[in-house]
Structure 1
Amino acid sequence: MSDARVLDNAPWLKSGPAARVLKLLNGDGEEARVVGGAVRNALLQIPLGDVDIATTALPAEVIRRAKAAGIKSVPTGIEHGTVTLVIDAHPFEVTTLREDTETFGRKAKVAFGRDWVRDAERRDFTINGLSVDAEGRVHDHVGGLDDIAAKRVRFIGEASQRIAEDYLRILRFFRIHAAYGEGQPDRAGYLACIGCRAGLAALSAERVRLEMLKLMVAEGAAGAVAAMVDGGLLLPIFGGVAYTGPFRAMISSERALGLAPDPVRRLGALAVAVTEDAKRVAMRLRLTNAETKALDSMGHRWWRLAGMDEATARRRLYRLGEDRYRDRLLLAWARSGGNTDAAAWRELATLPERWSAPKFPLKAADFIARGIAQGPRLGQALALAEDAWLAADFPLDEPALKAIADQTIARFTRDDRP
């Protein structure tokens, strides 16, 4: 492949932490280049994210040069040739050129080398196989420039071989396509993913979780997810049905409301109809405690939020809190089908922007003063009073609050009669 492209508008190659790393590692017979996603993103003129660097220098030489320059080095993956250099609080993974000698998932055996072509050919996708040197020259040994221009995500070499090296690449294929591709996924890659799908069972839940949550918020997530469902690729991940219609509807609702994409909320639309679904998905993906609670809340009787009047919606918002209310409401909207009143759903969804729930004004002291001793009965009295306060539409005036407290006490007195 020819090296005909020069990366324009890349000041980070001339000054700053990345330029310092390149300068440190170039010279005295060694060469360093920025590789992978940073090159892809720079060519697409989108934010870079992490900047990874490949070098002909062996790890020991990288560490020696860093020490001489007073730069912190951390041997984060020394057996695979990776040393992390930290400059101005920015970490840079620096990896010696290599090729796989044996491949079995993430534990491939590698041999260090000096061949930039062989190093590019061992990567996953052509658009991730590009490198750029300190002068801004783009080196393309795998056809990545053409695929970036076409917005096409394509495996390097034989797709099934790339997948067998690490089955997570099945999920990465769809996630990268959703983020950077257009149209249908590359046919050869798609068929290879389907043919290798049994390998998904060997992946750790933690790695699957990370890829799936990234996929959920990618720009082209709806199309990529639909292709995965058609290829039978989500059943082994979720262990249940994937709902592409509600997933698309959730994306549309978020956009209509100007909400940032939320991975757990979208995951709920895709995989959760009832709380049992939420528990299963959370367990299979090893979601965090916070993610599990959010997913479980979404699945809990979401159908009760359909057709609420605003008074009922205020009570739901008070009980659930803003985030839980919005997530559950959007799931109800997403699962309602296309024949409902979108304006009414928007009114309910934007309630937190128009109304803030007040704090329950009655305190334990109000009931202790009325003869309720501390203990379980006091908690019961407060709960009953709070229910009555909600039913009365959150009054804050003293007469209304006194009436609620007195009525609660009267109920307790009535219940105590033999």
Structure 2
Amino acid sequence: MGNIAIEFDNVSKQYALGSIGTGTLSRDLNRWWARIRGKEDPYLRIGEVNDRSQKAMGNFVWALKDINFKVERGEVLGIIGKNGAGKSTLLKILSRVTSPTTGCIRAKGRIASLLEVGTGFHPDLTGRENIYMNGAIMGMTKHEITRKLDEIVDFAGVEKYIDTPVKRYSSGMTVRLGFAVAAHLEPEILVVDEVLAVGDAEFQRKAVGKMQDVAKGEGRTVLFVSHNMGSMQQLCRKGVLLENGSVAFSGIMGEVINAYQRGIVTQREFTSMDGDPNVLQLLYASIDSNHDGMFYTDSEIRVYMKVKVAKQISSLVIGFNLYSSWGYPLARTDYNDSQNLTTLSPGIYELKFVILPYTLSDGGYHIVFDIAERNVKRYTTEKSNLYFTVLPGSSFFGNRFCEHLNIKSSLFREDWLDFLRKVEE
């Protein structure tokens, strides 16, 4: 394998839908008889592609299908994709939690995995005992574990509870200790799923820094799954995009993220209804520019909304948050009753927001609408999110320049009534 740490060779994983085994005793016997004769499983050919948006037509599904790629020693590889794409299944096969239906994985060195909160921990053992148990499972000697013990406990921040049974830990404490054990016991390969989202912001920063040290300073290999595109871009040089259980794209992490975003960010107009018709509801939303629907760095980008206020609410919020394609929050603008003397009476209102030219650089963006009763409930959901991409270059019509990135004041003028018009009782 040379400098290759991990090689996925035609790896596939099939699951039966709704039952364990094939569903009948005769089929299980046929499968067993084929296996002892060294023949192919006779039921492998009837599996469907793992598209969770479609109704299943058969009894079997391919969670992974024909996965082929290699990971070099010391590389941090990011694996991204929609929910159900096969990311966690891939890591479970690598970690030997489950076995592939076909194909094989070749890995050089010890593998430490952090796939779910509390993975590998016995709830009745203390934190200290679980550290020793996990280290022994990874092939570490008692002396090696003792040498790292203080460092693990300090990193996890659980010194006060180290001799308390793990079943009394919070989910955050459990995942912190689990990550600290996996990262500090010197495995050659570290496998990390989305569990870091459980930790608080301070711990997430520590974990990202530790993974950078593990890969760059210590030369170990890391496979990292996350939906946080900012962390993926920060940590990973290369990436793999999974779609319906297959590799859709692989390459430089930035290119993989762009391919992922192109596959999911298609909605620039929302024409359904989102919210509660008896309280607050977003009836319509869209994004438009001043040049044939294309967005350039000098475009004036217009955001339209139509909102139904079914009853008078003193804590009304109407607005949206702007994010980069990698999930970084960039700006927020809203009408907020707590900042105004006027309370909107029931009715249907139209709103228009303007993002001035040169405010945004080229790249992908998405808008998350916030129609809410402040500190009570947000009524809009992710189904009304809008997406757009700003291209470098000129739209010809742009003629204004925003010298500073003050998006809030650019988007929402002091007199919010300039943007809000009642159209119907």
> Would you tell me which structure has more helix in proportion to its own residues?
1
Normalising by structure 2, we get a TM-score of 0.29
Normalising by structure 1, we get a TM-score of 0.29
> Would you tell me which structure has more strand in proportion to its own residues?
2
User: Of the two, which has the highest radius of gyration?
Assistant: 1
